[in-house]
Amino acid sequence: MPGKRQMQKAQTKRKIIDTAIKVYSEQGFSAPTIAIAGEAQISHGSIFVHFPTVEDLLVCLLEEFSQDIKSELHSLSESGRNIEKLLSMHIDVLIKHEGFYKRLTKEAVYLPEEVKNTFIAIQSTVSIHFLQALEPEMRAGKIKEIPFHMLFNTWLGLVHYYLLNGELFAPRESVLARCKSSLIESFLALIKQ
């Protein structure tokens, strides 16, 4: 059975992870570690007891984030497999994690390679579901004859463009929530044969 020590340790680690997600979502990834320590109400040094470097913390954060997103995508995509539902579900998952996801798209350049690759792996998972939903309609000749990866990149490009320029389209609120239907409608109209 786990002793008090082990539980306390695990609890502190969890607090660091949760607080880091919160602080990075709000302040961006250049937020100093003292901001995380302050918000989590632990000492600065504690962070380095659990994570040798901030890079290790980031990698851990993204590992968890990607697991969450992937499992959400997976369980939601069970229910229905047409393209409209899938786009809607995709946006819903992003809305749920909008703060952190937006930071990832905005600040990817400055993140370590491993973190970037984990983020790319998320898109890869999305593309698999995207393909599964689109394939029947493509076979049925309802979709324009354009390479699949182009269709997917157009969708992701559009969604990320809205995330990156959210302040322009929807100041002080969720761009995705506000623009969800017009994004989906427009994209569907574009790809239809």
Cβ neighbours, 10 Å, residue 148: 14
Q: Which does 154 bind (CB under 5 to 8 A by kind): DNA, a second copy, none?
A: a second copy
Measured CA to CA, the distance from residue 24 to residue 109 in angstroms comes to 15
Helices 98-107 and 4-27, axial angle in degrees (round to 10): 60
C-beta of 76 vs 121, nearer to a second copy: 121
22 binds DNA (CB under 7 A): no
∠40-96-173 over CA atoms, to 5°? 90
Q: Is 158 in the site for a second copy (CB under 8 A)?
A: yes
139 binds DNA (CB under 7 A): no
Our finding on whether 42 is near DNA (CB under 7 A) is: yes
Choice from 156, 170, 177, 178 touching a second copy (CB under 8 A): 156
Residues 6+ apart with CB under 8 A from 142: 192, 193
Q: Structure tokens of 41?
A: 């109400």
What residues line the site for a second copy (CB under 8 A)? Answer: 28, 30, 106-110, 120, 144-147, 150, 153-154, 156-162, 164, 168, 182, 186-187, 189-191
